[in-house]
Amino acid sequence: MRILVDVGNTSVKWQLRSDGVVVDGASGDLGALGSWLASLEQGGDYTAAVSCVRGEHCMSELRSMFRSATLIEPHFATSTSEFHGVTNAYASPEMLGVDRWLAILAVIARGEDSAIIIDAGTACTIDVLENGHHIGGYIFPGVVLARDALIANTDRIRFSEHVAISTAPGASTAECVQSGVWLTLYAAAREIIARAPSARVFITGGSAGELAALGVEGDCVQGLVFDGLDFWLNGS
């Protein structure tokens, strides 16, 4: 049985897999993860892998949590210069966000060697894979982050109403901000996709559905980090 944990910037997700099949899982905060771990059958044959983009303090807390609940040490995935023939574009490979690296590995595990991976979350990251080589990527503020930055750093951009997701010109401050941040991500994604027309596009993250609805074409998939963790465990 494999316990897979994805600790992102704003949320924590986890899965329990048996022979590659997801048999349980949920999302929440670290406290909820701890409660879930404590509910597992004691003495089970578990292996655990963690993707964590937070600091060492969080990783130390996770280690203690696993020891207390399952009596096992989790394996923390790291970004490396190469894995299973895939190369990392970063000169200092450990500086590539581990969630991005695992999403790349998940795509390789699916049999793709050229792909564009769009992860629209708190930050929106876009990574480009070409013939088994990660050639680099892009990082943008996610929709909520971009909107909140405008509100926090300007005096007259203020609104409270919720408006429809759109890239059309806005007729109120809220609509203008909403359209502006979505158009930024939409246009960037379309431009990057146009540069690699033969690459398969994967869209993931909390805003994946909205990007697809706006017209960014690709396969909407969730759980790429989990799939990458599973693949990484197989080869580590």
Closest CA to 101 of 118, 84, 78: 78
CB 210 within 8 A of CB 182: yes
Q: First CA to last CA across the chain, in angstroms?
A: 16
**218: nearest Cα among 137, 130, 120, 145:** 120
Task: Look at residue 180 and give its three-state secondary structure.
Answer: helix
29 catalytic residue (yes or no): no
Which entry of 99, 119, 227, 230 is annotated as an active-site residue? 99
In whole angstroms, what separates CA 55 from the centre of its chain?
16
Specify the DSSP class assigned to residue 111: T
Q: CA-to-CA distance for 81 and 213, rounded, in angstroms?
A: 35
Query: 166 near 175, Cβ under 8 Å?
Result: yes
Strand partners, 86: 83
- Indicate which residues carry an active-site annotation: 99
